[in-house]
Amino acid sequence: MSGKRNHWHGKKKINLALQGGGSHGAFTWGVLDQILQDDRLDIEAITGTSAGAMNAVVLVQGWLEDGRPGARRKLEDFWSSICEESALSMGQREFIDRFFGAWKFDNSPFQIWLDYLGSFASPYTLNPLNINPLRELLERTVDFEKVRACDEVKLFVAATNVHTGHIAIFERDKLTADHVMASACLPTVFQAVEIDGVPYWDGGYMGNPALFPLFYESATPDILIVQVNPVERRMTPRTPRDIQSRLNEITFNGALLSELRAIDFVNRLVDTGKLQRATGVIGRMMNRGRHAHEEYMRPFVHRIDGADEVAMFSASSKFDTRWAFLTHLRDIGRESAKNWMDTHYDSIGVESTLDLRIAFQ
């Protein structure tokens, strides 16, 4: 964001890549809150999936309203609304709880009934009217017409094409609530989101988050990944919900690890001189114009992941929407971002701070 209108004066530019992960997306809220407060980074582009996509569009909406302070307030308002369960019926609340979740309803009659039916019935049977309070919340929070018109930041939202199994990337100038809800559409909970006759599921299956749009569309080589899904868990899940949650984590990290392998491969070829490193605009588009110039962008990759502090929570804690838990994750995110900035700020624009080979091994 260049921010002439809203005084966005970061000293260095960076791209953000925001993972999805249910209520653990509140960790990302904390990271964004710290970056917005710190004022040293200028965000050129954001790619997000599921809860990461929601964080992205809410941030842009708030920034349009009142710059950095507006973005911080809007993010807090959004996550506060997630847990305002008193305004919802038990049935409505359960659909939010099954996306962001709430372990405290594990033993509720409604939850037991849903888990039982869900073992042999699809969302088309369980939720024939396709009720989704998350969409209503998103539409109340974000004016998508204004977001589409904002040329201060590039936005990329990932979803999975159900028919082809391919990743779909929706860009800012076309974004609607449908696109964001498609990115967050868990197929065991919600009916596929149809856009122009094509059904979509959660983008995490093919890109969580998708990094490649940043290579093609951004002039900034630095990518900061905000990762909420632990790559490792030193425990064996035993309950049906924990087993499914761990399967989702492994699947949702798979596409990211594949992209990190590809980046490491290209970087090594560039570093050894086997590929020509780009120095101009063409090069900052990851060889998009290679028919004219054989030049390759060399990205600098960084990561904030909360490490052991987030990994200590079980996978099923992604179903906890209590305000105390969300703000605890936010605080962990803020502290993680502060520590990362204090330690690695000088490396931005100079070198990667994430050892890619260790990250994907």
Cα 255 from chain centroid (whole Å): 13
Show the beta-strand stretches assigned E in the chain: 12-18, 41-48, 154-161, 167-171, 193-195, 198-202, 222-226, 276-277, 295-296, 300-304
CA distance 263 to 283: 15
CA distance 159 to 169: 7
- For range 321-341, the mean pLDDT: 94
CA distance 19 to 157: 11
For the ranges 87-96, 218-227, 253-262, 341-350, which has the lowest average pLDDT? 87-96
Q: What is the pLDDT of residues 137-164, one digit of tens each?
A: 999 999 999 999 999 999 999 999 999 9
* DSSP 8-state secondary structure symbol assigned to residue 192: P
What was the pLDDT predicted at 83? Answer: 79
CA distance 310 to 337: 13
What was the pLDDT predicted at 210? Answer: 95
Q: What are phi and psi of 292, to 5 degrees?
A: -110, -35
Residues paired with residue 276 on neighbouring β-strands, in sequence order:
295
Asked if 283 contacts 277 with a C-beta cutoff of 8 angstroms, the reply is yes
- In terms of Cα–Cα distance, which of 108, 107, 82 is closest to 24? 82
End-to-end alpha carbon distance in the chain = 34
Which residues are within 8 A (CB) of 311 and not within 5 positions of it... i.e. 6 or more apart? 230, 232, 233
Percent of the chain residues past pLDDT 70, beyond the cut: 79
Over its C-alpha atoms, the chain yields an Rg (Å, rounded) of 20
Is 107 a residue whose pLDDT tops 70? no
CA distance 222 to 121: 44
CA distance 33 to 77: 12
Q: What is the pLDDT of residues 270-284, one digit of tens each?
A: 888 877 776 543 344
- For range 54-61, the mean pLDDT: 97
Strand 222-226 to strand 12-18: parallel, antiparallel, or no bridges (unpaired)? parallel
Q: What is the pLDDT of residues 160-199, one digit of tens each?
A: 999 999 999 999 999 999 999 999 998 888 899 999 999 9
Asked if 25 contacts 99 with a C-beta cutoff of 8 angstroms, the reply is no
* DSSP 8-state secondary structure symbol assigned to residue 87: G
* DSSP 8-state secondary structure symbol assigned to residue 354: S
pTM of this prediction? 0.84
- In terms of Cα–Cα distance, which of 83, 79, 26, 24 is closest to 321? 83
Is 226 a residue whose pLDDT tops 50? yes
Residues paired with residue 160 on neighbouring β-strands, in sequence order:
167, 201
Asked if 118 contacts 126 with a C-beta cutoff of 8 angstroms, the reply is yes
Asked if 204 contacts 49 with a C-beta cutoff of 8 angstroms, the reply is yes
Is 6 a residue whose pLDDT tops 80? no
